[in-house]
Structure 1
């Protein structure tokens, strides 16, 4: 692995200053500047797209909940680990994404690994986008269903595979926003195909929830399907076979994930997903922190507006300025494709020496030959910090 430049190394990361120690003129450091292996760095590596992981209201909610509930859930949700905080969180999540019911999982990876086998099994068929996240891939393998992989966002190939399948139950699985490319799946077209071919659709909106939609509702609102007000009047398709999943450790800034959809479908998942049934629940303090975060997502639209502005600043600043390919993306994820593994590590190292942290992403996370810098923007970043990133990349190119 080392010879192929594929060896991963952990880094010790902590905020430069605790949130309560930041002075008024240091607010730009909140959620953007860290000590990485003891060295101060401006970070463009996290998924904290709205800067909520360091928000005082979210921190205070966790502290108050710890005083009330303690710091552990003590058992699985189906034993005694489901608190009033968890119950309220699920109701608020369902309301935000405009679907009837939601179910909270302690982790996004666990949610998908449990979800897929709960929906299909041996003799059934799964249709999976080639760039799906590892947790969807692993969930598909654990289900023992027949797996058909189609080219990235290739609706024609998917339609053909669905038409040729004789499986009794069919499940299409896809990221809504692809984590390493920033591309967005065509959810209306996928729903239409599933309706035509009597299939189910599972979408993983890990990187769209909180970022897409007028109120951060995610990919469904982005496509005009469902919003905080419920299913959009213009949408004429069916949603009873849609399973919507999103994580809460990215734009929401805390931890966990949730599944939402038709009440009977969510009930089935609760009864069948082994990663829900047999794992200790997340602490109630996490649920209360998320309730604060969900409220901020829904009401502070300026965060998404500022994020979009930073994205345009970055793309304009890098156009023709560096020799690498900044792939198209309308999300917070901006992939700067370098190519060779060694070259990506060299560019990452050059940025690091200039005080900027951007992680190099290599196979198997991305296809061979497409090693890249995965630039993650956050509404916590300032225009000056994005300018610093652009200047560091131009200098690295030299």
Structure 2
């Protein structure tokens, strides 16, 4: 059979048809600069992306350092601003050092790959973020995926390994359900078996722990010598970028070995300046972290979710992807934007609305949310 004249991308049409039939076709929707809708979908947990001090921090960095960092941080992309922010962030969460990457995704890739590698074992929770999944795949280590939050399975994988080095990776707060990882129990297992623990605090920073210092800080593991923490700057800090925090030796090793750090252009100064200002707002206003949890509890009650949320995330499982998408569309038509999670982001049969609380939600915002969500989820 000849393939002459057949487009090498013809198969994409068939895939698109299959996705559409399954209710899994995705599309981009642009939002306006100042949205008229109430946003319960973003990860701007502390409401800092539009905070005047955060905007001023970004503008000042832009005017001082320029629009871009101009190169890899090993060449021209490292500024005093980057290092000042790293020091401040490490001090805030209780780590010895920090290293800023261009995104939370690349921070996870850099940390996991550089700290594992061929001849080592990586044990990963089944519901870790896609960036950690990709990092495991790129690590060239032997990877064992354990059931969600199953500490006994992690212990078995570590106890039965033949490799000298082992790394356990997990989110601290899982993004789809908002539940918390059993970090203390996992760390006990890691220490017993001589394994490193890497914890993604993307959804923990700014929400959990004293004044938003993260779940590791909350459970007493901040600064532990066998724990590495990764964060994103694009959620609670309202900016862009990521960071890896841990022992100074880890920072030194990542500068030498983490390809997403070595070969990527450094994070733009404006993003660093904004994140630095946002961190200072959190230091000055620690109550913001608790307010996120308070608002999340209110949203859960409105949606009929029995369990009090442990994070900013409120997950309302509706089942079929078409049902979840229709509910999200209905909410938006009535002025409330919510997230809609469908497979492969979540397992089949668990498509859902994913609501996120913000510290900046007003009583008027909550009244609107209450009215719309009640009408959509519990029609009379």
TM-score by length of 2: 0.92
Name the counterpart of 2:314: 334
The 8 Å contact of residues 44 and 377 in structure 1, kept in 2 or not, is answered as yes
The 8 Å contact of residues 327 and 337 in structure 1, kept in 2 or not, is answered as no
Name the counterpart of 1:80: 76
Name the counterpart of 1:236: none
- Which residue of 299, 314, 322 corresponds with 1:314? 299
C-alpha separation in 1, matches of 2:128 and 2:204:
14
1:66 equivalenced with 2:66 (yes/no): no
Name the counterpart of 2:173: 177
C-alpha separation in 2, matches of 1:116 and 1:5:
34
1:244 equivalenced with 2:229 (yes/no): yes
- Which residue of 15, 23, 40 corresponds with 2:33? 15
Instruction: Please state how far the C-alpha of 1:384 moved relative to its aligned partner.
Output: 2.6
- Which residue of 191, 207, 213 corresponds with 2:187? 191
Listed as ranges, the matches of 1:1-398 within 5 Å are 1-16=19-34, 34=35, 40-226=36-222, 239-319=224-304, 329-396=309-376, 397-398=378-379
CA-to-aligned-CA distance 1:333-365 (integer Å, 9 cap, x gap): 010011111110111121122111112110111
Residue 74 of structure 2 aligns to a residue whose secondary structure is helix
Instruction: Please state how far the C-alpha of 1:177 moved relative to its aligned partner.
Output: 0.5
CA-to-aligned-CA distance 1:258-308 (integer Å, 9 cap, x gap): 111111112111211000000010122221221111111122122123222
C-alpha separation in 1, matches of 2:325 and 2:211:
37
The 8 Å contact of residues 326 and 335 in structure 1, kept in 2 or not, is answered as no
Residue 194 of structure 1 aligns to a residue whose secondary structure is helix
C-alpha separation in 1, matches of 2:166 and 2:221:
22
Instruction: Please state how far the C-alpha of 1:378 moved relative to its aligned partner.
Output: 0.5
The 8 Å contact of residues 327 and 336 in structure 1, kept in 2 or not, is answered as no
C-alpha separation in 2, matches of 1:63 and 1:361:
34
Name the counterpart of 1:235: none
Instruction: Please state how far the C-alpha of 1:326 moved relative to its aligned partner.
Output: 6.0
Name the counterpart of 1:28: none
**How many residues matched?**
360
Residue 15 of structure 1 aligns to a residue whose secondary structure is coil
The 8 Å contact of residues 45 and 374 in structure 1, kept in 2 or not, is answered as yes
Residue 104 of structure 1 aligns to a residue whose secondary structure is strand
The 8 Å contact of residues 67 and 268 in structure 2, kept in 1 or not, is answered as yes
Instruction: Please state how far the C-alpha of 1:390 moved relative to its aligned partner.
Output: 2.4
The 8 Å contact of residues 112 and 136 in structure 2, kept in 1 or not, is answered as yes
The 8 Å contact of residues 326 and 336 in structure 1, kept in 2 or not, is answered as no
C-alpha separation in 1, matches of 2:32 and 2:87:
33
TM-score by length of 1: 0.88
| Alignment root-mean-square deviation, CA | 1.4
C-alpha separation in 1, matches of 2:41 and 2:131:
20
- In structure 2, runs of 5+ residues without a counterpart are 1-18
The 8 Å contact of residues 209 and 219 in structure 1, kept in 2 or not, is answered as yes
Instruction: Please state how far the C-alpha of 1:109 moved relative to its aligned partner.
Output: 0.7
CA-to-aligned-CA distance 1:38-87 (integer Å, 9 cap, x gap): xx321100000000000101111111121111111111001111001001
The 8 Å contact of residues 239 and 271 in structure 2, kept in 1 or not, is answered as yes
